[in-house]
C-alpha cells in the first residue's frame, strides 16, 4: 500500500491528590487527529473510557465519552476525575496480548477435558518477532470452515468476537457444557479458528500492519509483479494460514474486522470477482448468509456496507484481499465481517456504543448461522429457489448519512479513500 497507517490509541491516566480538590476536570486533546488513516471517521466517534481494569470481568464497565468532538483536526473530550486512581481511554477497548494468551490457555484446558483427538490447538507458524500463530481446531463434520480474526491488529473488536465464539463452542465458563445447537454444528463442521492473525502488530499498537509494515489483508496473492505475496520475509502470518488452508480445503470462510467509518455491522463478499460472475451461486449464498445472521443477531443489517467494485477488472486488483482470494481459490463462500468503532445505528446505545460485550455476542451468534448454511454451501443446482425474497442479496451502499448524500470517492475493502492515499 505504501501508506504509513495510524489511528488506534489506548492509554491510561493516573490521578492522585483528590482528597482536597474533590473534582478534577481534564480536557484531553489528540493534536494530530487529522493525520490519521481515516480522518472521515472522526465525526460521530466517541472515545471509550473505564475506571475499571482490563480484565474480562470488567468488560461491561466500558462507557462512551459523549463530549468527544473533532474541531480543526483535533480530537477532544472532557473527563471529570472524582476519585484517585486509573482511567483508561481507548479508540476501542484493547484486547491485550496477555488476554490473548489466556484465551489460548482456556481453549487448551477445555480441549484437554474433551479427550477428542480431533480437537486441538496448532501453531501454524511464527511471526517475524517470534510469536505463535495459534489455530484452534474443533468439530468432526463434513464441511470445513475457516474463521480468522484481527488481520488488522488495531481492530480489537475482532478478537472479542473470537472470544465469544470460542467460549460458546468449547463451553468455556460453563464447565465444558455445550448447548444443543453448538453440538449440532460441531457435528456438521471441522472448524479452524485463528483468534489473532497479527500478534506482532497487536503488541506494537499498530492499526493495520505487522511489525514490518505489511497490511496482511493485502498479502493473500501477488497482484504486482514487483511484489510477491505472501512471503516469509514480510507476511509469514498469511503464508502460514494459507498453507494450512491449502492442506485442509475450505467450504466456508469468514474474516472478522472492524471499520472506523461506518456505524453498522455489515458483511462484504467477493463481489465482481471471477467466481461471483461465473454463476449466481455465490451471490445467493452471500444473501442467504446475511439474512440468517440477521435472524440470529439483530445487529446485522444488509443495506449499508462497502460498495462492490464496478467491474471484474476492478475486482481483480484486489485479489490479494483474503475474502476474494479464498473464495476464488476454493470456490467457496467467503465473507468479511465488519463491526463499528462507533455506536451501532442498528441498535443504537450512545452511552455504550459498540462494545466488547456486543462483539462477543456477535461471535457467539455465528453458531446458528453456520447451522442454517450447512445444507447449501456445496449444494448443486439452483438451490436458491428454496430461499424467500427476503433472503436475496442486497447490493450495499456507504451512503448512510442523510437522504441524497453521495460519497465523493468510493472506498473498497476498507482502503483509505483515494484523496488520502
Query: 145 is written with which cell numbers?
Result: 470452515
Tell me 396's DSSP state: -
Residue 338 known to be catalytic? yes
Cα 220 from Cα 240, distance rounded (Å): 11
Q: Is omega for the bond preceding 230 within 30 degrees of 0, making it cis?
A: yes
- 49, 260, 338, 368: which one is catalytic? 338
CA dihedral of residues 29, 30, 31, 33 (deg, nearest 10): -140
Is 217 within 8 Å of 241 (Cβ atoms)?
no
Query: 263 is written with which cell numbers?
Result: 456505524
Nearest to 133 by CA among 252, 254, 238: 238
**Cα angle vertex 209, ends 407, 77, to 5°?**
60
Is 327 within 8 Å of 282 (Cβ atoms)?
yes
Look at residue 371 and give its three-state secondary structure: helix
Look at residue 76 and give its three-state secondary structure: strand
Cα 205 from Cα 8, distance rounded (Å): 7
392 CA to centre of own chain: 24
The Cβ of residue 376 has, within 10 Å, a number of other Cβ atoms equal to 18
Phi and psi angles of residue 263, each rounded to the nearest 5 degrees, phi first: -85, 50
Cα 275 from Cα 64, distance rounded (Å): 42
Residues with a known catalytic role? 338
Amino acid at each position: 500500500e505504501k501508506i504509513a497507517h495510524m489511528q488506534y490509541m489506548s492509554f491510561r491516566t493516573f490521578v492522585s491528590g483528590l482528597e482536597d480538590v474533590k473534582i478534577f476536570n481534564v480536557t484531553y486533546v489528540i493534536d494530530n487527529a487529522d493525520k490519521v488513516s481515516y480522518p472521515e471517521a472522526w465525526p460521530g466517534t466517541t472515545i471509550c473510557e473505564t475506571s475499571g481494569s482490563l480484565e474480562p470481568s470488567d468488560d461491561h464497565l466500558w462507557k462512551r465519552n459523549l463530549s468527544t468532538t473533532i474541531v480543526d483536526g483535533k480530537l477532544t473530550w472532557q473527563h471529570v476525575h472524582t476519585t484517585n486512581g486509573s482511567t483508561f481511554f481507548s479508540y476501542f477497548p484493547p484486547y491485550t496480548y496477555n488476554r490473548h494468551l489466556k484465551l489460548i490457555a482456556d481453549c487448551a484446558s477445555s480441549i484437554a477435558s474433551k479427550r477428542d483427538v480431533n480437537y486441538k490447538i496448532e501453531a501454524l507458524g511464527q511471526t517475524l518477532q517470534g510469536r505463535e500463530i495459534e489455530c484452534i481446531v474443533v468439530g468432526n463434520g463434513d464441511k470445513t470452515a475457516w474463521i480468522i480474526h484481527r488481520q488488522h491488529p488495531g481492530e480489537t473488536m475482532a478478537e472479542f468476537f473470537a472470544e465469544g465464539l470460542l467460549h460458546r463452542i468449547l463451553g468455556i465458563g460453563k464447565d465444558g457444557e455445550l448447548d444443543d445447537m453448538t453440538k449440532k454444528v460441531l457435528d456438521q463442521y471441522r472448524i479452524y479458528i485463528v483468534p489473532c492473525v497479527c500478534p506482532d502488530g497487536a503488541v506494537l499498537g499498530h492499526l493495520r500492519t505487522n511489525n514490518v509494515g505489511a497490511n496482511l489483508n493485502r498479502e493473500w496473492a501477488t497482484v504486482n509483479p514487483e511484489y510477491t505475496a505472501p512471503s516469509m520475509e514480510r507476511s509469514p502470518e498469511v503464508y502460514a494460514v494459507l498453507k494450512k488452508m491449502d492442506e485442509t480445503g475450505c467450504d466456508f470462510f469468514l474474516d472478522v474486522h472492524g471499520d472506523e467509518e461506518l456505524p453498522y455491522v455489515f458483511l462484504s463478499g467477493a463481489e465482481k470477482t471471477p467466481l461471483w460472475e461465473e454463476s449466481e451461486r455465490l451471490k445467493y449464498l452471500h444473501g442467504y448468509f446475511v439474512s440468517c445472521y440477521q435472524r440470529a443477531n439483530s445487529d446485522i443489517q444488509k443495506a449499508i456496507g462497502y460498495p462492490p467494485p464496478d467491474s471484474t477488472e476492478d475486482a481483480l486488483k484486489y485479489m490479494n484481499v483474503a475474502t476474494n482470494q479464498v473464495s476464488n481459490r476454493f470456490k467457496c463462500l467467503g465473507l468479511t465481517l465488519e463491526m463499528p468503532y462507533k455506536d451501532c445505528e442498528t441498535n443504537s446505545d450512545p452511552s455504550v456504543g459498540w462494545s466488547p460485550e456486543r462483539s462477543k455476542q456477535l461471535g457467539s451468534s455465528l453458531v446458528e448461522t453456520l447451522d442454517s448454511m450447512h445444507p447449501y454451501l456445496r449444494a448443486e443446482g439452483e438451490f436458491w429457489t428454496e430461499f424467500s425474497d427476503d433472503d436475496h442479496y442486497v447490493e450495499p451502499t456507504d451512503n448512510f448519512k442523510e437522504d441524497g448524500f453521495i460519497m465523493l470517492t468510493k472506498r473498497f475493502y476498507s482502503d483509505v479513500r483515494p484523496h488520502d492515499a
